[in-house]
Amino acid sequence: MEKEGKYIYCIIESDTPQSFGAIGIGERGDEVYTVCSNGLAAVVSSSPIKKYPLSRDNLLCHQRAVEEAMKTHTVLPVRFVTIAEDEEQVKKILEKEYDRLVSLFRTFEGKKELGLKAMFKEDAIYKKILGKYEHIGAAKEHIASLSPQEQHYQLIEIGRQVEATLKEERELCEEAITSTLSPLSVDMKRIDPYGNMMILNAAFLVEKRREEEFDQKVEELSQRYSDNIKFKYVGTAPPCNFVNLVIETGNY
């Protein structure tokens, strides 16, 4: 039988015991609640001490608990699958890490993480490239008069030119987007893009007082580039791209 422990989702500032509902990781419906110590609280649930698979369901459970706490508190997310032996060990962690945690709270207090993805509309960007870079369009028209072997090599060369041009367009658009939004944020983290149509995948740390202004600029960018680019804007999220506490429970 697996030993029971306390799964830690995040840290908040609180002296008040609080429940966030029966939304604990796993499928047992464990209550997510706070373990408090000296003005800090760990958001936890009972859990077997085990290595949870990095599955979509488990990640969503972890994220949901953090998001519930974030509705009423500034949160410091804790790395996925951090499990203490019991509540006493959780309190020891809060006590030993008190200075570091309080410093982080001061850093992230009054700020939100906002996510933005920008991707080319595939048909539109290729049409733009053929119109803007006339030599590529002319080369495509010339191919029809060539032999099959010559066409093969010409198509490879055109493909290279299109990729190089697409890269140039991505860089130009990324610079336009980031130069507009970065001044409104405290920090920005680029996240690995996927596919050659993605221009930007980034998280911005924004002061709450500037969130409306940031929203407006995203909308302006969306309107300005509506012919060629689609934006996916993710509102308030836990600041996981800026802090993800690593707590080695064996050290406490």
Tell me the CA distances in angstroms from 184 to 150, 195, 211, one per residue in order: 52, 28, 8
Strands across the sheet containing 229-237: 187-190, 198-207, 111-120, 229-237
Q: List, in order, residues 6 or more apart from 182 with CB less than 8 Å away.
A: 188, 204
Nearest-10 crossing angle of helices 87-96, 98-108 = 70
pLDDT score at 238: 85
Q: What is the DSSP string of 179-247?
A: HHHGGG-SEEEE----STTEEEEEEEEEEGGGHHHHHHHHHHHHHHTTTTEEEEEEEEE--TTT--B--
Q: Which of residues 164 and 188 earns the better pLDDT score?
A: 188
Output 160 or 146, whichever has higher pLDDT. 160
Nearest to 118 by CA among 58, 191, 54: 191
Single-letter residue type at 221 = L
Average pLDDT over the chain, rounded to whole? 88
Q: Is 60 exceeded by the pLDDT of residue 136? A: no
> Which three-class secondary structure string do you get for 102-114?
HHHHHHHCCEEEE
Per this entry, what is the length of the chain? 252
Rg (the chain; Cα; Å): 25
Q: What is the pLDDT of residues 206-239, one digit of tens each?
A: 999 999 999 999 999 999 999 999 999 987 788 8
User: What type of residue sits at position 128?
Assistant: K
Predicted confidence (pLDDT) at residue 128 exceeds the cutoff of 60: yes
The whole-number pLDDT of residue 127 equals: 77
Taking the C-alpha atoms of residue 15 and residue 147, their distance in angstroms, rounded to an integer, is 79
**Within its chain, how far is the Cα of 50 from the centroid?**
26
Q: What is the pTM of this model?
A: 0.80
Helix (H) or strand (E) holding 44: strand 40-48
> Helix, strand or coil for residue 109?
coil
What integer pLDDT is reported at residue 116 of this predicted model?
96
